[in-house]
Structure 1
């Protein structure tokens, strides 16, 4: 079966006569500005911005849809072959000529050296004369063979789909700051020469915002008043607009952004009356500036994508999956569950954007262990405390693992058992250690289970060495904290390690700590049998929060006159003083309270809410632990089935 040939429009010249080629170029330049071919040329320029103006125009004249061109031999070296019968594209290449000539010998002062005969001395030197020749290249569509990627697909995808990332890349290559503001009139943006900033109209579409940002960045690069004056450059307003809009069109075309709204109705009027040299100079400025912006944006996007992927990978590991790099490629990503999170099945994704959506779903509705770890990776600013600090302040099942600091005073104790340490009179102290991992854990796990997990198949985001002799583990079992030294056989409790660690972190000990809710008389708490009308049933006022929660539990369900609740009574002398529910029927009222700015910003209310939510979570865990085994198994089976159903991204 014969190969289908593509079409190249041949230049009307005989052979490779340079005079004829240059004459065709002159004609091409005239046609470029007097026809509808200007946008077509700019699109070609976006793909060949490293080529000269002349060669870009020659490619556009012969094969405007070309994307990647090179010579016959180069294609072969890349594993591709030009199809039989294809017509090449003629472009110009340097062909310097070396010549020998006689020239005067000059001394150090650049004056002719006079010989014994009284005449200037001469010498024969080789000089290089700049010349050009016509060569033939072929577009990739005219070849077959090994695939070649001109621009990584993830970069194009990011440019089109990831607005924030692309806008950030534009801001980073802009020579001046970019800000958003309301702009009166029809202008979408402007470059301010005095303030040295770009202002873009806010609330525009993402596409228009990007185009405007690129356009104004071109202005800032090319038409800054001080730079133009320093280079003795003068340009009229229309020339500036032609250059900026042409650069924007090239850049948008290169990244496959929508360019359908672009038009250049003024191009013929602008070019009319200008000399050929002036037109070529402007086109070369456009080519050079667009090329620089395309290259810089590509580099920035590549770097930001790499950083984003690293962050997503850390988030996926925090969720309990390892990246199967060898089994993955750019269009097929595979993740394998670790042994700690008891996941079933692999995760698959077609792109990192798909992984990002899965990560966001975990943050929104994942299980508590997954959600907390993943959210901390993606949004660390949401957490006021480190994982380790949370272990000391939460009544939950949390653990922290400590390794001896290799650069600290205890480095000689690494992998040394307790008996040997005691024989040498060495005491294990918290200041010799650093925290390497901290997390929630399941209520039924003890030190033996922890040791097994962190040796046999640790969590995917655990990057330290396996749990070994001389390591220390602090376990918080719903507020009961103990520290264990990993010994050669079993574990030794360290009674002072917890308080020592708190002191290092600058945290108050349990004895020193005072309850912020008990330090003030501005807030008290109540428990009511009927949340809507407390007077209709049993109600207890002026309680501390623990007392209110205890009273809430004691209200019998069989004689309820409504839905029971726990709430606060605020007395700070503001318009918001009075009673409000914190918990109704075992559900937090955060959504309602946070919808009122005063309560959302009130530290006492927020602290009370946090403690009520901890109470709700602890009650939920206790219910889970006391559920009959048969019922637990049935629920676990249901969860496992659901997890398997949700495994695919």
Structure 2
């Protein structure tokens, strides 16, 4: 066996073992809310949007990871990975390119010069499909020479940090979240409800065309209302139809997204409830169903965080523009004097 063949066999064995191990891990997470909390807390701290399996691989090899990229990606940003650092192994799909030529599928490794010329001139369409996985290396930002003061800004932390001393940080965060969610045509109202009621969801079109409403309990704490707001909006990100929102697997999926987002927002006092009611779905589900379910949690959490950061980024840009405009007016007035 050649070195190349040996390396390929070792990679395949590692991939097979990882899939089995992560399947078992997921089962343990779905039966134990404490283990799930630990896993979601890791996801909350990692900026990247990866599949469940890759999240497990990164957590196992580099538990403190925050932003990971390939060596070439860091290099493109003029950031150097330190020479002594060991890369983090993750799965990368093997993407196969092919064309249809003479009614036959021809993969890239079998393209003739004629086919290559047709592709180059855009006379043949190139298709792709995924065939298994290979391994690649990524590096955490802490493994680079980039100084900490140049790390990417997390805008929600920036806004909370810049808060007036007369305004509670969580109050400001709730206000920002409300404005963010309202931009997605979802109405938010408050009402006095029982202490055991966290929120209500209802549908009805008003004069502004808003159909989806979230009613928060004004007796609840601000922290609880933040969690409730994120949880309700998570149903939208997860694509839950209103007729199926109350299905136990969908309800817990939204809860896990809300927990992850709240961890990312550094919100204190948020815990996952017991998984007792959820176990009936876990017991009936297949490995594929469970993996698809947890991947949706990860991707929706990352989408929420990225979209909210973008929303706050826009606010900062608009504030800076307003400040510049005011400065220009003052300068003009000064010049006239």
TM-score, structure 2 as length reference: 0.70
For the pair 1:463 / 2:320, whether they are aligned, the reply is no
Partners of 2:262 and 2:270 within 8 A in 1:
no
Alignment of 1:58-73 (within 5 A): 58-73=57-72
Q: Give secondary structure in 1 for the equivalent of 2:332.
A: coil
Alignment of 1:145-544 (within 5 A): 145-147=146-148, 149=150, 151-159=152-160, 161=169, 162-163=172-173, 165-193=175-203, 196-222=212-238, 225-226=241-242, 237-258=247-268, 260-266=269-275, 269=279, 270-311=281-322, 461=330, 463=332, 466-467=335-336
CA distance in 2, matches of 1:294, 1:242: 19
CA distance in 1, matches of 2:151, 2:214: 32
Q: Structure 1 residues 29, 37: CA separation in 2 closer, same or farther (over 3 Å shift)?
A: farther
Aligned-residue offset at 1:191 = 1.8
Aligned-residue offset at 1:188 = 1.5
Work out which of the residue numbers 12, 15, 23 in structure 1 matches 2:17.
23
Aligned-residue offset at 1:199 = 0.5
Partner of 2:143 in structure 1?
142
Aligned-residue offset at 1:181 = 1.0
Partners of 2:90 and 2:136 within 8 A in 1:
yes
Q: Structure 1 residues 23, 265: CA separation in 2 closer, same or farther (over 3 Å shift)?
A: farther
CA distance in 1, matches of 2:223, 2:284: 35
CA distance in 1, matches of 2:321, 2:50: 35
CA distance in 2, matches of 1:173, 1:183: 26
> 1:161-211 CA deviation, whole Å, 9 max, x = no partner?
333652344333444201111112412212225663100011433322222
User: Per residue, is there more helix in 1 or in 2?
Assistant: 2
CA distance in 1, matches of 2:273, 2:20: 21
Q: Which of the pair has more CA radius of gyration?
A: 1
CA distance in 1, matches of 2:200, 2:322: 35
For the pair 1:37 / 2:35, whether they are aligned, the reply is yes
CA distance in 2, matches of 1:275, 1:247: 21
Aligned-residue offset at 1:150 = 5.3
CA distance in 1, matches of 2:305, 2:322: 25
CA distance in 1, matches of 2:69, 2:38: 20
Q: Give secondary structure in 2 for the equivalent of 1:144.
A: coil
Q: Give secondary structure in 2 for the equivalent of 1:463.
A: helix
Q: Which moved more, 1:50-59 or 1:131-140?
A: 50-59
Partner of 2:119 in structure 1?
none
Q: Structure 1 residues 297, 127: CA separation in 2 closer, same or farther (over 3 Å shift)?
A: closer
Q: Structure 1 residues 166, 29: CA separation in 2 closer, same or farther (over 3 Å shift)?
A: farther
Partners of 2:240 and 2:250 within 8 A in 1:
no
Aligned-residue offset at 1:135 = 0.5
Partners of 2:174 and 2:226 within 8 A in 1:
no
CA distance in 2, matches of 1:155, 1:288: 19
Partners of 1:78 and 1:146 within 8 A in 2:
no
Q: Give secondary structure in 2 for the equivalent of 1:25.
A: helix
> 1:333-379 CA deviation, whole Å, 9 max, x = no partner?
xxxxxxxxxxxxxxxxxxxxxxxxxxxxxxxxxxxxxxxxxxxxxxx
CA distance in 1, matches of 2:219, 2:239: 26
CA distance in 1, matches of 2:239, 2:25: 27
Greater length-normalized contact order (CA 8 Å, ≥ 6 residues apart): 2
> 1:404-455 CA deviation, whole Å, 9 max, x = no partner?
xxxxxxxxxxxxxxxxxxxxxxxxxxxxxxxxxxxxxxxxxxxxxxxxxxxx
Partners of 1:182 and 1:202 within 8 A in 2:
yes
The number of residue pairs the alignment matches comes to 289
Q: Structure 1 residues 164, 262: CA separation in 2 closer, same or farther (over 3 Å shift)?
A: closer
Partners of 1:49 and 1:288 within 8 A in 2:
no
Aligned-residue offset at 1:57 = 2.9
Uncovered stretches (5+) of structure 2, i.e. residues with no partner:
1-6, 105-123, 162-168, 205-210
Uncovered stretches (5+) of structure 1, i.e. residues with no partner:
1-12, 106-123, 229-233, 324-459, 469-649
TM-score, structure 1 as length reference: 0.39
Q: Structure 1 residues 238, 126: CA separation in 2 closer, same or farther (over 3 Å shift)?
A: closer
